[in-house]
Chain A
Amino acid sequence: MSAGRGYGPDHHGGHAPSPAANGISVSGSSGPDRASLVLGVAAIVSAGFFFIQRGDLSLVRVENAAAVAAALGFGALAVLGGWLARRWLTIAAGAGFAVATAIQLLQLGRDTNWFGGTGSTFSFWLGLAVGLLAVGLTPRTAGPRARRRTDHTTGGE
């Protein structure tokens, strides 16, 4: 999954004001926001595997309405999180996929399988969950130790 190019205002000094903080909604305003958007689009696109349930092109098992709803719902949250530069939406999407992933894992091979998925569903959603949570939870400004290091090298200016 290609999640963005990684070169945005946040990556060069971190002093650029957040568009969201200015009340301006800008699509793909930073690398992490673009990544959230791309991961959300991938989740939404994956719902299309509902129509490809057999054969070599069935890369991910998306078998029932619950799985489609999870992919579309959490995917839309991730897209919104990236589009509006709202990290909490990205984290919510990641948390949603994490819960769905855990449920899918616990129900693999059982008669009760709410999402009707297999290990492929588990693996795909695991990627979306860890990816969105990593994007949402990674601090976008330098930590105290890194700031001290920078202050030291620049003479504290």
Chain B
Amino acid sequence: MWVMTTAPAAAAPDAPHARSPLGRGVLAVVRVGVALLWVQNSGWKIPPDFGQGDPPQGLYAFARHAVDHEVFGPFAALMENLVLPNFALFGWLTLLLEASIGAFLLVGLATRFWALVGAGQSVVIALSVANAPNEWVWSYLLMLLAHLALFATAAGRYGGLDGVLRPLWQRSGSPLARILVRAS
């Protein structure tokens, strides 16, 4: 993985959060590390049944924890009555969402938006499995906090595509460019 050196912070009004090369490098490493967490864990979510069966496996087994080891009543009810009965659909949604979080954080594109999505998905996972046996609740709190840090620091501007393309989006008048400026 090639972490390129960056220009002095004084020349980067869009990158105010890390003023030293070390700080910018660390933010890039954290972003890529968090992205690889999602990339790798997209690998065991296997369609078309996502682990439904006897015994339950994979994603379905983890989703069942939300009901069998309830963390938050309304969320458990939602899982039991909506998600589990339609699990093929929600399995695909989960796979596509998590793979996309990994993909966009990996290259640092629209990073602030995808960091928020990752934070939200971290909450969903925590609400599903935090009370399950052999789980460490801090794993999911740390996931949430890492994504919030990526959002707060606009981490894609350091060694990511947001840092490369944001100046071009800002000069463009297109609606898509304006959206990407906000998302980055």
* Residues on A facing B (Cβ under 8 Å): 1-7, 10-11, 14, 31-32, 34-35, 38-39, 41-42, 45, 58-61, 108-109, 118-124, 126-128, 130-131, 134-135, 138-146, 149
Contacts and interface: CB of A to CB of B under 8 A. Distances in A.
B164 A32 contact: yes
Contact of B169 (A5, A41, A58, A138): A138
Interface of B: 1-7, 11-12, 28, 32, 35-36, 38-48, 95, 98-100, 102-104, 106-109, 157, 159-161, 163-169, 171-174, 177
A38 B1 CA distance: 9
B36 A130 contact: no
Nearest to B5: A5
Dominant SS among interface residues on chain B = helix
Nearest to B21: A5
State the main secondary structure of chain A at its contact with B.
Answer: helix
A1 B108 contact: yes
A20 B163 CA distance: 23
A88 B134 CA distance: 51
Given A2-B28, A7-B12, A42-B1, 4 more contacts: A6-B166, A34-B4, A127-B107, A143-B172
Contacts of B6: 5-7
Contacts of B102: 123-124, 127
Contacts of B177: 143
